Amino acid sequence: MRDVAVVSFAQAPSVRADQLRNEVEILMPVVAEALGRSGISKHEIGFTCSGSSDYLAGQPFSFVMALDAVGAWPPMAESHVEMDGAWALYEAWARLQHGDIDSALVYAFGKSSMGDIAELLTLQLDPYSVVPLWPDAVSVAALQARAMLDGGHHSERDMAAVAARSRRDAASNPNAQVRTPLDEAAALAEPCIVSPLREHDCPPVSDGAAAIVLAAGERARQACARPAWIRGIDHRIEPASLGARDLATSQSAALAARHAGALGGAFDVAEIHAPFTHQELILRDALGLGDRATAMNPSGGALVANPVMVAGLIRIGEAAQRIIDGRARRALAHATSGPCLQQNLVCVLEAD
C-alpha cells in the first residue's frame, strides 16, 4: 500500500439554518482554507471527490453545481459519491493507490435546513414495504435504541451520559452548534420524543461543509510538518432491511474495524460518527473500544453538529487535525451512513 496522509482539514461552523448562503457560498471558503493550509494549489490536485445528496438540496445535479466552488478549469479529474464525504475520502485514497497522482481534494456539503430531514431520510428505506409507512428518522433510530436497551447492557442513563459529555466537549469546539450544558438527571426526567429517545439523544439539524486534502509519500511531508497517515481504512455494509439484522449490534462496524487494523493498540483520540446517543454505545462495543481511547469524541461529535453528508468526513478531519497539531499520535475515525448504522467506515490515522 502507498502511504497516504491527511495533510489539511477545514470545516464551516455548523449552524441550524444558513438562510443567506447557498451551498457553493458555504463551500468556497472551506475548500480555499483546506487547499491553502496544504500549500497544494487546485492546479496541482490530481483528483477531486465530493460527497453530498441531491435530496438535501431538493434539486438534481446539485453536486455538479457545487464544482463552482472549486473552479473546474482547466478540466480536472473529478468524482462524486451520493454518500457522506468520508466515502469520498475512501475513493480518493483508493485513487491515490494507483500511484500516478500525489494529491487529492475531498469535500462534502449539506444543508439539512431546507427540508424536513427526519422525513427525507425515510426515502433511504425499502420503497415497497417501509417507505409507505413513512417512519421518520427518529422513529427508526428509536427502534434501534429499544433493541439495544432490551439487550440489557446499556441504560437510558448511559445514553444521557454520552449526551452530557458531548455537550461538555462542544463548549471548546467553535464549530459546534449545540453547546448548552446538559443536566443528566433533569434531562432524563424529560418526556421522550419517540420512546426511548429524548431530545438530548437526537442530533441537531445542521447546515455545514468540510474539506480535506490528501497527499501521498514525500508530497505529504512537503505539505504538512506532521501528516496524519492513513494506516488502515475499510468500510462495510449490512442489509438495508431493518428486520434482517440485529439492530443492537454493528457487525459491519466490527468488520471494518478489523480490516482497518483498529482492533489492537491504544488510541489518543477516537472520533465516532454517532448521530444518536445509543449509536455511540453500540459502536463502542462493535469497535471494542473499551478504554482504549483516551479522548472519546473530543469535538462533541454528531450530537452537537450534524450536517448530514458531512459529519462523517468531519470525524476523519477532527481526528487527523489532532495528529497534525501534535495533540495525538494515533487516532481512530469512524463514519456511518444509512438507517441504524447500516454502513460503517473505519480509519486508523497515525503520526510518523
Partner 1 sequence: MSEQVYGIKVPIRLDYTYVVGTAPARFLRGLAQGKIVGQRCPSCAKVYVPPRGSCPTCGVPTRDDVALSDKGIVTTFCVVNIPFAGSAVKAPYVSASVLLDGADIPLFHLLQEVATEDVRMGMRVEAVWVPNDELQPSMNSIRYFRPTGEPDAPFESFKEHL
3 contributes a contact to partner 1 by CB under 8 A = no
210 contributes a contact to partner 1 by CB under 8 A = no
Dihedral sign for Cα 163, 164, 165, 171, please. Answer: positive
Q: Which of 10, 30, 31, 308 binds partner 1 (CB under 8 A)?
A: 31
> What string marks each residue from 68 to 107 as x (binds partner 1 by CB under 8 A) or -?
xxxxxx----------------------------------
Phi-psi region of 289 (alpha: psi -120 to 50; beta: other; left: phi over 0): alpha
Q: Which residues contact 28 (CB under 8 A, 6 or more apart)?
A: 69
- In the bound complex, what is the minimum distance in angstroms from residue 26's beta carbon to partner 1? 9
**Closer residue to partner 1, CB minimum distance, 54 or 183:** 54
Q: Which of 111, 198, 284, 315 binds partner 1 (CB under 8 A)?
A: 111
18 contributes a contact to partner 1 by CB under 8 A = yes
Q: Which of 13, 33, 44, 67 binds partner 1 (CB under 8 A)?
A: 67
Q: Which of 65, 161, 193, 240 binds partner 1 (CB under 8 A)?
A: 65
241 contributes a contact to partner 1 by CB under 8 A = no
**How many chain residues are in contact with partner 1, going by CB under 8 A?**
35
> Number of C-alpha atoms within 13 angstroms, CB side, residue 282?
29
128 contributes a contact to partner 1 by CB under 8 A = yes
**Closer residue to partner 1, CB minimum distance, 67 or 295:** 67
Pairing of strands 228-237, 267-271: unpaired
132 contributes a contact to partner 1 by CB under 8 A = yes
Contact region with partner 1 (CB under 8 A), list: 60-68, 83-91, 94-102, 302-310: 60-68
Percent helix, strand and coil across the chain, each rounded to 5?
40, 20, 40
Q: Which of 87, 119, 60 is nearest to 342 (CA)?
A: 87
20 contributes a contact to partner 1 by CB under 8 A = yes
Contact region with partner 1 (CB under 8 A), list: 114-122, 152-160, 321-329, 332-340: 114-122
- In the bound complex, what is the minimum distance in angstroms from residue 187's beta carbon to partner 1? 30
Q: Which residue has the cell 445509543?
A: 278
**Distance, CA of 51 to CA of 174 (rounded, Å):** 23
Contact region with partner 1 (CB under 8 A), list: 2-10, 16-24, 78-86, 189-197: 16-24
**Distance, CA of 172 to CA of 179 (rounded, Å):** 9
**Distance, CA of 214 to CA of 42 (rounded, Å):** 12
**Distance, CA of 294 to CA of 292 (rounded, Å):** 6
Type of residue found at 147: A
Q: Which of 194, 199, 188 is nearest to 158 (CA)?
A: 188
189 contributes a contact to partner 1 by CB under 8 A = no
**Distance, CA of 100 to CA of 285 (rounded, Å):** 39
Q: Which of 25, 82, 199, 218 binds partner 1 (CB under 8 A)?
A: 25
Helical H segments across 189-299, by residue range: 217-223, 251-259, 277-286
Contact region with partner 1 (CB under 8 A), list: 13-21, 88-96, 183-191, 308-316: 13-21
C-alpha cell at 230: 492513513
43 contributes a contact to partner 1 by CB under 8 A = no
Q: At what angle do helices 311-324 and 85-96 cross, to 10 degrees?
A: 60
Contact between 182 and 163 (Cβ < 8 Å): yes
55 contributes a contact to partner 1 by CB under 8 A = yes
154 contributes a contact to partner 1 by CB under 8 A = no
**Footprint of partner 1 on this chain (CB under 8 A)?**
18-25, 28-29, 31-32, 42, 55, 58, 65, 67-73, 111, 113-116, 119-120, 123, 127-128, 131-132
